[in-house]
């Protein structure tokens, strides 16, 4: 158990819908990362937050957005969903921003868009 929790574990929805994925980092960790894992793209970095502020952006679509709240939990919002958004979405947390701050991953949310 990494200490990072994600809800829900599974999500099935239809094209055009909007969903929210939730992540609680390990106790004491200030940094949260979101990744998308699909068979054809591998593990793609989406976005990073540190202590409530966006710090780095990766291959995140404009239809997707995220935020980190004062209690440090984070939400990833996916809207106007398409079939191709079906994937595993992982959250990871680390204590800070340094390259020596190891990331710990949550169990993931499996999103299926029908």
Partner 1 sequence: GEDVEQSLFLSVREGDSSVINCTYTDSSSTYLYWYKQEPGAGLQLLTYIFSNMDMKQDQRLTVLLNKKDKHLSLRIADTQTGDSAIYFCAVPLESGGSYIPTFGRGTSLIVHP
CB nearer to partner 1: pick between 6 and 19:
6
Minimum distance from CB of 66 to partner 1 (Å)?
Answer: 14
**Member of 28, 42, 70, 71 binding partner 1 (CB under 8 A):** 42
Supply the minimum distance, in Å, between the C-beta of residue 25 and partner 1. 13
Q: 84: which 2 tokens? A: 């191709």
Beta carbon of residue 8, minimum distance to partner 1 (angstroms, whole number): 14
**DSSP secondary structure of 51-79:** TTEEEEE-S--TTEEEEE-TTS-EEEEE-
Q: Report strand pairing: 5-7 vs 19-24.
A: antiparallel
12 vs 71: CA distance, rounded Å: 28
> Which of 3, 16, 18, 101 is close enough to bind partner 1 by CB under 8 A?
101
Q: Which is nearer to partner 1, 48 or 74 (CB)?
A: 48
Asked whether position 102 contacts partner 1 by CB under 8 A, the answer is yes
Q: Radius of gyration over alpha carbons of the chain, in Å?
A: 13
- Token readout for 97 is 């921003």
The answer to whether 11 and 110 are in contact (CB under 8 A) is: yes
Positions touching partner 1 (CB under 8 A) are 2, 4, 31, 33, 35, 42-43, 45, 48, 50, 55-56, 58, 90, 92, 97-108
């Amino acid at each position: 158990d990494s200490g990072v929790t994600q809800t829900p574990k599974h999500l099935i929805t239809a094209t055009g819908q909007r969903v929210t994925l939730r992540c609680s980092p390990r106790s004491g960790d200030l940094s949260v990362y979101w990744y998308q894992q699909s068979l054809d793209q591998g593990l793609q970095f989406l976005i990073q937050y540190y202590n409530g502020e966006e710090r780095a952006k990766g291959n995140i679509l404009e239809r997707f957005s995220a935020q980190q709240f004062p209690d440090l939990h984070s939400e990833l919002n996916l809207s106007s969903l398409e079939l191709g958004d079906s994937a595993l979405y992982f959250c990871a947390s680390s204590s800070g921003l340094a390259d020596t701050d190891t990331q710990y991953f949550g169990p993931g949310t499996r999103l299926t868009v029908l």
